[in-house]
Amino acid sequence: MTRQREMILDEFLRIEGHLTAEELTLAVKKRDSTIGQATVYRILKILVDSGIAREVRLGSNVVKYEHNIDHEHHDHLICERCGKTIEIVDQRIEELQKGLAEDHKFIITGHIMNIFGICEECRGR
Amino acid sequence: MTRQREMILDEFLRIEGHLTAEELTLAVKKRDSTIGQATVYRILKILVDSGIAREVRLGSNVVKYEHNIDHEHHDHLICERCGKTIEIVDQRIEELQKGLAEDHKFIITGHIMNIFGICEECRGR
DNA sequence: GCCTTTATGATAATTATTCTCATTATCATG
DNA sequence: CATGATAATGAGAATAATTATCATAAAGGC
Ligand SMILES: [Mn+2]
Ligand SMILES: [Mn+2]
Ligand SMILES: [Zn+2]
Ligand SMILES: [Zn+2]
């Protein structure tokens, strides 16, 4: 356990929502500008592996991270125009997914579901 | 309409399944080695925009493409060990997705659903 | 405190994709 | 068919995100 790890973990947990590696780096550098980019990447990987963080990819190729503890599993509903993202979960879908996997004799380990659309606000304009 | 476009489209349609930009470039270069990488990228983008091709991202950051015509919409069930990919579709899930979007006053434009698991074969070993 | 091990920071390397721009091909028109 | 305006191409540079390298520094058991 190093000073850097404590600081990066702490900062990650302090920030709610989805954030990129770069955004986390920026936040951490405000506290200690000597922390290196590579270290943030390294520790983000550790956080994902240990189940503290989760990767989120909402369309595009931008990788973001979000809390994976004290934060129930959920999927995302994304507005294609403004990028607004709503966290959703539907137990019936989760069940059907499990069933589909079983039909093919898979043991399910996870899933990603992004629903894309246009939000009401964006339609207004 | 250029020679390159014809050739790249033709080669893309000839190949079933998921393929990367690089794989398509390779296939096309076998026919005409003078075709440039950038042209393949450019034309792939056109194919996606025109609805002939569809981007597929199965976990990781590898972008693949598949046919989007004469090929019903589907989602993917992926083995995390061997990468085997099964195309799936469940009308009940599609309906529920639509409902979820409506609940949030979104007009749905599409979705991505990847289910991850371990296939029977991989479990055997 | 000392020593082995592991982590860190700076920077180079890598990879996929996009951009730039001089050259070339396309195609409507005379 | 020639012509010329317009758009597409190919080569390579540029970009951006992530990973690798490696000398130096910090951590933690003794
Ligand atoms: Mn989320
Ligand atoms: Mn497919
Ligand atoms: Zn919107
Ligand atoms: Zn498998």
* B→A interface, C-beta within 8 Å: 57, 59, 61, 63, 77, 79-80, 86, 88, 90, 92-93, 96-97, 100-101, 104-120, 123
CATH no. for B3-67: 1.10.10.10
CB A31 within 8 A of CB A11: yes
Per-residue pLDDT, averaged over A92-108, amounts to: 98
pLDDT computed for residue A59 by the predictor? 84
CATH homologous superfamily for the domain B75-124: Ferric-uptake regulator, C-terminal dimerisarion domain (3.30.1490.190)
Task: State percent of chain B over pLDDT 90.
Answer: 96
Secondary structure of residue B103 in the 3-state scheme: helix
How would you classify the pairing of strands A75-79 and A107-118?
parallel
pTM of the full structure:
0.93
pLDDT single digits (tens) B107-118? 999 999 999 999
Each residue's pLDDT tens digit, B58-104: 988 899 999 999 999 999 999 999 999 999 999 999 999 999 999 99
Tokens of B34: 């003078």
pLDDT higher than 90, residue A21: yes
Footprint of strand D on the protein (CB under 7 A): A 1-3, 20-22, 37-38, 41, 45, 63; B 2, 4-5, 34-39, 42-43, 61
Residue A125 pLDDT > 90: no
User: Which residues of chain B between 42 and 61 are close to nucleic strand C, CB under 7 A?
Assistant: 45
Segments of chain B assigned to CATH 1.10.10.10: 3-67
pLDDT given at position B123: 95
Please provide the average confidence, as pLDDT, over all residues in chain B: 96
Residue range(s) occupied by CATH 3.30.1490.190 in chain A: 75-124
Give the model's pLDDT for residue B60: 83
How far is CA B54 from each of CA A58, A109, B17, B42, B71, rounded to the nearest angstrom? 16, 25, 11, 14, 10
